[in-house]
Structure formats: C-alpha cells, structure tokens
Amino acid sequence: MPSTAPRNRVVIVSPALADANNGNWQTARRWQQMLAPQHAARIVRQWPDALASDADRVMLALHARRSAASAAAWARARGAADSARGLAVVLTGTDLYRDIHASTEALQSLHLAQQLVVLQECGPASLPDALRRKTRVMFQSTSARQALPKSQAQLRAVMVGHLREEKSPETLFAAARLLKDDSALFIDHIGDALDPALGDEARATAAACPRYRWLGGLAREATRRRIQRAHVLVHASRMEGGAHVVMEAIRSGTPVLASRIDGNVGMLGHDYAGYFDWGDAAGLAALLRRCGESQSNPTGQAGRPGNLLAHLGAQCALRAGLFSADTERAALRQLVAELLQPA
C-alpha cells in the first residue's frame, strides 16, 4: 500500500506568480515540482496566506528585499530575533549587488535566515564574513537542447533580455553600430521595451544597422530555438544573480559572450575566454569579429589565436553539468532536509 505519512509543508515565496512568468516564477514552479512528492510545496506572493498554519515547516523566500515582509512574519511566528528555523532566503542579483547595501529590510532578511542561497559561485564574496558561513551556492537548471548546425557563411548572434537598465542594451546598440559594415555578422535582439526610451534606441539602431534586428518579446520556446540556432549568445548585463538565459545557452551548445561581472563569472568560470568589460561596446564588437573570423576560418589567421568559437564551446560544455535538473534537485532537497532538522 502507498505511504500515508503526511508530507512536510514547504512555502515558496515568490514576488512574481504565473501571470508574470519571469525568472522568479520559473524558479518557484520548478522547485515546487522538484520537491514533490516528498514535500507539499505551495507558491505564494506573501506569507502568511490563506492556507498558512503551524504545519508550514519550511519557507524558501526568493528575493531578500521583496520577500522581506514574509521572512519577518515567519520569524515572528517562531519567536526568533535572528536565524529563524526553517527559513532560507534566496538572493537575486539586485539583492547581492544593490539592495543589501541600501535596504535595511533586505539586510534584515539575511540575518533572519537560517540558510542563505546564492545562484552562482561569486555570490558569497558580496556578503559579510559572518553571513558567508550560512551561505551555499545552488545553481539553477534548465533542460538540455541538441546543438544545431550553424551556418558557415555568416555569424548569427542573439541577445535575450527585456530592454531595461540592468541588461545594458545600450552596449549592444553601440556594438551593432561599430559592426554595421560587416556583411557576415547578424544580430537578433529579443525582449520587450520595459523602458520606452530604450525601445526608441533599438528602433534607431535597426534603422541604422540593417543586420541588427529588434524582435521584441517572444514566447519562451521561440526564444530557446533562436538561442539554439545562434552561433553565440550576447549577455551584456551590469547586474545579475545567475541569469537563466546564460544556462539556457550553455545547455543548448551555444557559447556566450558576457560582461565581466560577478553574476556572469560565477556562471561561466573565472578562466572563461568570452568576457568583455561591462559597457565596453568596442570590446564586445572585437569579440564578435573574432568569433566571425574563427567561424569562417576555423584554423585561425597568422598571429591570431585559433578557433575562438570552438574554444568557448568547449569551455561551456565543461560547465553544462552544473545546470542539470539532477544537480539542482539534489541540492534543493538537501537544503530542505537541513531546514527540517530540529534545533
């Protein structure tokens, strides 16, 4: 007969729910599925919710600042002034690289948590020494996709991210203008204009650069297929906690050109060869040119390194296992098991 033992109740607090369908929601939903059937996990925007009770054993709070009220309520319900039993706070990029340095609510969430979770290897370095002792790295995951054959006649790059300040689309706009006379290099840009002024800049760039296309927002499946077809993904962000799109590219066999910020280095590794300094459009353009050269002439040119695309692809392939569902599931279940242990 199947077991009738009650399942542990886990609350996942996400600032965004299904209607937003953003990274927070995707993480919350994936974790809910990974915890079943051992745990009964529900996703809420704020706790306590209508189903809250003393039977709630674990809270996984996504975003230190935006989930601060829920974390504080959890601690009060347990009479804890700090390190509330069963509470894990998951830090986003805005938490790590902005909010915990300016928001007392975000900082309070860190002290209330029994465990802190960061989503890439460089995350702990942004925390005070006293908090690093209760911090773990837990990579997120995405499904693997078969690498698709790439054109030898042209290089196709894609950048994915809504047009807003943190994603630094201006870097891509400027790089596209530097490359507008390169007839073998095409750039697709996917994302809604959350900042209307950046949408105007995207349209102006497309008018000036015939091989740059702003496609607006696309469905997730369509976006993943374009990542599969691209030779390289561009990720120019100024601030990241562990970008889904980077692991989607890695798990699709598409190498990445990324800004040298902690959130990207923590995903791709310190020795990765595809970095440009944040905001350095000329540096990005130079990397795209080198990728184009190595794609059309794989043996390299005199005085130049060999096939950069192949080298980046090999480096990404070595990281791909970090972002598998099995790896994330094991880390998540271990976290919950530790949160369930009695004091």
Residue length of the chain: 343
HSE toward the beta carbon, residue 117, CA cutoff 13 A: 23
CA atoms of 132 and 127, how far apart (whole Å): 6
CA atoms of 121 and 152, how far apart (whole Å): 35
| Cα–Cα distances in angstroms (integers) from residue 32 to residues 215, 220, 226, 277, 333, in the given order | 32, 20, 28, 37, 11
CB neighbours (10 Å) of residue 95? 28
Q: What is the pLDDT of residue 269?
A: 97
What does pTM read for this prediction?
0.89
Q: What is the pLDDT of residue 6?
A: 61
Which residues of the chain are under the pLDDT cut of 50?
Answer: 1, 300-305
| Cα–Cα distances in angstroms (integers) from residue 72 to residues 76, 102, 281, in the given order | 6, 18, 43
CA atoms of 141 and 139, how far apart (whole Å): 7
Beta strands in the chain (DSSP E): 8-13, 39-44, 56-62, 84-90, 113-118, 135-137, 155-160, 185-190, 212-216, 232-235, 256-259, 275-276
Q: What is the pLDDT of residue 20?
A: 63
Domains of the chain with bracketed CATH: 8-141+324-340 (3.40.50.2000), 155-323 (3.40.50.2000)
Q: What is the pLDDT of residue 271?
A: 97
Rounded-to-5 percentages of helix, strand, coil across the chain: 45, 20, 40
Cβ distance 238 to 168 under 8 Å?
Answer: yes
